[in-house]
Structure 1
């Protein structure tokens, strides 16, 4: 497992310290404070899971879950194969050309903390009343984070697009039906 470094701005340290003390029983640990504008973001760990806070467009969300390491590894491998093929052919076309291919050879470690397999989440819409709001003061971010922690609900599992889904898209299978849409044979009994 990769060690994560804290990147807390001095202006955010007081809010982060208060929140970590308040939720010490959950094992809350920030890696990045409430920084940025459009979106305001913060992330870290809650116990053994990662969390990601985001505020943009007058909508705040908090997602807690685990990173998809297997999916990330598969995407990295495919990107690396494509980059090696581009470099071998010296193909300078494309958006970044050879520079982009060399960049894709390096392992991407920027999103290894992102909870792409959510376990719990919370969303609050219309936080300020301004639909273009994208920045928060530190005390507003703290109050919003507390509200989101209190509003956490279990995340619904979304099926991953597997073989069956690909066959549905090709038209070789049909969408599964619930029990109310099942067509049954009529009974042999007569009224």
Structure 2
């Protein structure tokens, strides 16, 4: 966890197509702001600027940062707010936490599921998997997808631990021809 003692207000945005709803609380859980916001850049800048002038440092969490929440998030980042997102929210933006410590943990109302919040300014672009790493993964998947008797590679993993083979070899149930490749396919990336 990182130190958030310098944050004066925590602002949560529930974004919508036409307008958003913003709720801000202080570290002592005193409500500092609770109202609707219009989905226009000048209005967002005006409200965010007033909040920063009144309270100081603000930390922002947006529920849909990769889609309709992109505008308020961009405005908040431009003003200098600290912005947070979960790993699941970072992925559509092409980002990942890249070794940073989580800032906070949020829970759903039932308390059964949780997510870690990471700072957007510290997130890095997702790096593509190099071919050196992709080939061994493909080889491992081929072992799980290839029938030992028929030598067909299926598009799904086979129940090799329970049946010991594909369904067709086990009990004669015909397999859909779209679900497999007839001969074992050699990976094109490996010489």
TM-score (norm 2): 0.25
The answer to which structure, 1 or 2, has the higher relative contact order (CA under 8 A, 6+ apart) is 1
Higher Cα Rg, which structure: 2
Q: By percentage of residues, which structure has more helix?
A: 1
TM-score calculated relative to the size of structure 1: 0.25
